[in-house]
Structure 1
Amino acid sequence: MSFLGRVASAILVAFLVGFDGRVTTARAEQISGGVVRIGVINDASGPLADATGSGGLVAAKMAVDDFRKSHPNIAVEVAYADHQNKPDVGVAIVRKWFETDGVDVVADVGNSAVGLALQNLIRDKNKIAIYTAVATTELTGKQCTKTGFAWLHDAFTLVSGPIRTLVAQGQDTWFFVAADYAFGKNMVSESQRILASVGGKSLGAVYHPMANTDYSSFLLQAQSSGAKVVAFANTGDQVVNSMKQWKEFGMDDGKQRPVAELLWLTDVHSMGLDIAGGLTSIVAWYWGLNDETRAFGHRFFELHHRMPTAPQAALYSGLSHYLKGVAATGSDDTDTVAAWMRENAVDDFYARGSKLRADGKLIHDFYLFEVKKKSEVTEPWDYYKIIRRVPAEEAFSPLAQSECPLVTPAR
């Protein structure tokens, strides 16, 4: 049976990476129970599984293994579970982790609705969460908390760069095909707001169920809108199937430009370059950016047989930063470690010299890219052609516009 097949429907939590040494140093005596416990939770079996899933667990184990090389006397355990993209399931699992299993930090998540639900829980329990592919701006906006950190992106960072770039090129009318849950709705809302601010126009939006497979009616509405750009505010299997049917219906004739507002490396691999080639999107991290990212990519590939996605790299980075905070402070106390994480820059292959902002966002560069054509690919998984680097100060919404109570205390 495959690894994912052995993951229980949602509730099974198996502690993995249990190191053999007890915590024996004087500083490590401040660690509760003598063990640092990490909980990785994501979509292990649904539409987001390729981009997060078991690869997220691989990234977490890599972070722990690398940490152990420098700190062999600090024991670390990793728990893993599938939230099935259901907020109530996710909350039930993580509540048990916190109340019964002694988990110190929860990481990954990868679903906006689950992320918002967990944000309330970590606020109540005073625990740390490191979010990767949670895109809703609410997470670090009205629902922000001092221990909730967004390591990868939000809806603004995903849509601002492509919209500004394409509208400036005359691609100024847009139609949206979106997933009908918190992520898709927030993506469309942010897109329409930014579109209007740069002189573009939204010609409408349609929303499909999360587990949808037939996109014909949604694509026909997009086609009949006459919009120059059809933007897909969905992800994983959703965008893969959308683009396959886009080609099947002959919509790849150049009359409308498809834009994937969130496109994972694994999505491109699933589509194939005949379908994905030429798609425009934006990403916070890509394994082929430089020698450092390539080195991590090849290490990950040896373990997972796929190159890492941006969420998987972000998970490694976020957990590494957390563990550095534990080692530096000699404690797994939430407030102590969270303060260290905020005060110290992230400086790794994922984000050089980046710091957490007051609203909980890790501020880093993004990369606008186009999917390569087959003739441009030089090695397996070499799918992205970087169009331009989007600097952090341009990629993220200004802090002055934040609705986070930590930035603008309620009057």
Structure 2
Amino acid sequence: MTETSRRTVLAGAGALPIAAGLALPRGARAQGAPMKIGLLSDMSGPYRDLNGPNSIAAARVAIQEMAPRINAELLVADHQNRPDVGVNITRQWFDRDGVDMVLNLAASSVALAVSDLARERNKVAIATSTATSDLTGRACNANTIHWVYDTYMLAKSTGGAMVRAGGDTWFFITADYAFGHALERDTANFVRNAGGRVVGAVRTPFPGTTDFSSFLLQAQASRAKVIGLANAGTDTTNCIKQAAEFGLARRGIKLASMLMFISDVHALGLETAQGLVCSASYYWDLNDRTRAIARRIRAGVNNDTPVTMAHAGDYSATLHYLKAAAEMGAAAAKADGRAVVARMKAMPTSDDAFGEGTIRADGRKMHPAYLFEVKSPAESRGQHDYYKLLQTSAADDAFRPLAEGGCAMVRS
């Protein structure tokens, strides 16, 4: 068994051509060598629910939609949130297995390392479950695209809303790696620019922290009005559960979950999560198109996990990548990752998850962002009916201005 297949979560998913066996009319399938896509993510750790089997199903939906125009295969591996593991798997995919594009990436530390390897090998890297805004800033390159969300968008939307609501003193509980650092940095900048103050911060080991009690007590002792959770996945849900046990809300302390997925709300339950405010770029119940893609993704899984914005991104990014490869022809697309990314940037994006959009010169995928409040149990009308929309930010307002990111590819 290879190193990749040992880390593959679903039996056999690590190297199977998942486009095989789809019900298509005779002669409808595109001919030629398949585009090979490697879905690299956290499949067993704190970010499993927001990625995991639903990410695989989402990529499969996109591959199925594009099957009449271009062949594609999907490989899957678990990087365990370790950059060394992620780079080793990706290097094997690129050098031995002929993978053309690596998708999802999750942990920011992994994404930054894999992005650099994609540049070296002239392949394509698309981050759909990664937060650090450095991917389109100091670490940008011509082989990488950043989909779905980033720390700037999250900080501006959620952080700005909390300060406007009176939360002008902050204490951060931060996951101690690239993602947490970037999210704390970007949020702190918005807090200060809005006239607020950061009165303290603590960094928690990642992965592996499950008991946040001492960190929450430090935050309480700081007398901050807001505790900013610069973490995600089970780290976020554990913080929220333990804060509820300590009764921080009764003491007037607000929690700001800077990156909370609908899968986190699902795990917490509405009784615990009600009233929390969060930002996202996709919600399954926004409109007919978002509901349609959620149904198609969920048809491919056997779980009760809601479709997250990361899952939506896996579908959307895979679809647009294959559209560009189909226009170029598989041989040309396989030969030059930078040319594929350039073609993706030149083409407008359009899909059921995010609607219409574009990709900027720095690799930032542009679409609106939404601020949501979690419903109370009494407000929820059915399965996964968890959010009410507070505000919508247009793409140009949601994401960092192109000239401010420090991306070397952007001409001043």
Within 5 Å, give how 1:320-331 maps onto structure 2.
320-331=319-330
Within 5 Å, give how 1:257-406 maps onto structure 2.
257-304=254-301, 305=303, 306-331=305-330, 332=333, 333=335, 334-406=337-409
- The one-character-per-residue Cα deviations of 1:97-125 (angstroms, maximum 9, x if unpaired) are 11011111110111100001101101100
User: So what's the TM-score if we normalise by structure 2?
Assistant: 0.92
Deviation of 1:20 (Å)? 6.0
Quote the Cα distance in structure 2 between the aligned partners of 1:181 and 1:280. Answer: 24
Deviation of 1:130 (Å)? 1.0
**Unpaired stretches in structure 1, ≥5 consecutive residues:** 1-5
Deviation of 1:314 (Å)? 0.6
The one-letter code sitting in structure 1 at the alignment partner of 2:36 is R
- The one-character-per-residue Cα deviations of 1:357-395 (angstroms, maximum 9, x if unpaired) are 111000111000111110010111111111011111111
The one-letter code sitting in structure 2 at the alignment partner of 1:222 is A
Quote the Cα distance in structure 2 between the aligned partners of 1:323 and 1:10. Answer: 23
Which residue in 1 is equivalent to 2:160?
Answer: 164
> Which moves more between the two structures, 394-403 or 349-358?
349-358
Deviation of 1:62 (Å)? 1.0
The one-letter code sitting in structure 2 at the alignment partner of 1:375 is A
1:93 is aligned to 2:89: yes
Which residue in 1 is equivalent to 2:223?
Answer: 226
Matched-pair contact (CA < 8 Å) for 2:17–2:72: no
The one-letter code sitting in structure 1 at the alignment partner of 2:294 is G
Paired positions, count: 395
> Which moves more between the two structures, 135-144 or 116-125?
135-144
Matched-pair contact (CA < 8 Å) for 1:402–1:408: no
Quote the Cα distance in structure 1 between the aligned partners of 2:8 and 2:298. Answer: 26
Quote the Cα distance in structure 2 between the aligned partners of 1:169 and 1:255. Answer: 13
Which residue in 1 is equivalent to 2:16?
Answer: 15
Which residue in 2 is equivalent to 1:115?
Answer: 111
> Which moves more between the two structures, 293-302 or 278-287?
293-302
Change (3 A) 1:18 1:346: closer
Change (3 A) 1:273 1:20: closer
The one-letter code sitting in structure 2 at the alignment partner of 1:60 is A
The one-letter code sitting in structure 1 at the alignment partner of 2:112 is L
Which residue in 1 is equivalent to 2:42?
Answer: 43
Change (3 A) 1:391 1:319: same
1:185 is aligned to 2:181: yes
Secondary structure class of the residue paired with 2:20: coil
- The one-character-per-residue Cα deviations of 1:5-28 (angstroms, maximum 9, x if unpaired) are x9623698322315369xx99x97
Within 5 Å, give how 1:202-241 maps onto structure 2.
202-210=198-206, 211-241=208-238
Quote the Cα distance in structure 2 between the aligned partners of 1:102 and 1:310. Answer: 28
Secondary structure class of the residue paired with 1:176: strand
Change (3 A) 1:162 1:180: same
Which residue in 2 is equivalent to 1:3?
Answer: none
Of 100, 103, 117, 2:99 maps to: 103
Deviation of 1:352 (Å)? 2.6
Matched-pair contact (CA < 8 Å) for 1:213–1:238: yes
Secondary structure class of the residue paired with 1:381: coil
- The one-character-per-residue Cα deviations of 1:140-176 (angstroms, maximum 9, x if unpaired) are 1111111200011111001111222222222211111
Deviation of 1:255 (Å)? 0.5
Matched-pair contact (CA < 8 Å) for 2:30–2:71: no
